[in-house]
A = this chain, B = another copy of it.
Amino acid sequence: MREFIMYSSKGATAPEFFLKDLPGSGGRMDLVARCVISALWLSRDMRRDSRIVFSLNGPPDPPLAISFDGGELERVSPDERNISIWIKKTLKQRKDVGGDWLETHKGIQISRKSFWNLLEERKDKNLYILQEEGDDIREVKPRGEDIFVLGDHIGLPENGKFAEKFGAKRISVGPESYFSSQSISIVHNELDRRGV
């Protein structure tokens, strides 16, 4: 199982954002959607062993966490608009949810978990924080069952200084500052090559 946890600092936490304006009204929901595509799709198949959880921290009702599970997902298409439609549908059920996961559609869940909750729950796992100043992913040997944590265009809270607290290792995917979705593609490629 490969899991990605993405921190979205501005991602909308109510369904009233516009599909015509995912970057603005959605708080860069286009970027979140592209991360879902990178995390769960291959050209001719889905990555059934992968999951992505994104922590939405924009207005009006943060925090919320939504997960897309490649092993369960059905009827979702890999384009920004379609994924955003499913996120909107899921956000409609935010009033019914607390700290546990609620399945809103097959393979999609929502919860009131904060970004810290998500990390806390995984502190005994192999946590990797994707950051430019980390060790090169090609030199790091993931041990399987790995969790990769990354920020959006703004970055991670406290610039990722919380990494140590959760026993996380900082790793870098390359010498440039990539989009989150590009970083996810590079991580997958590295793990594919190792057969992890």
Residues in A lying within 8 Å of B, measured CB to CB? 19-20, 22-23, 30-31, 34, 37-38, 41-45, 77-82, 153, 173-182, 185-186, 188-189, 192-193, 195
Contact = CB atoms under 8 A, between A and B. Distances in A.
A9 to B, nearest CB: 13
Contact of A79 (B78, B80, B192, B195): B80
A34 B43 CA distance: 13
A104 to B, nearest CB: 23
Query: How many copies of this kind of chain does the complex include?
Result: 2
Given A79-B30, A80-B30, A81-B81, A189 B173 contact: yes
A121 to B, nearest CB: 28
Contacts of A195: 175
A189 B193 contact: no
A96 B178 CA distance: 37
A192 B174 contact: yes
8 contacts: A30-B79, A38-B182, A42-B178, A43-B177, A43-B178, A45-B177, A80-B80, A175-B193
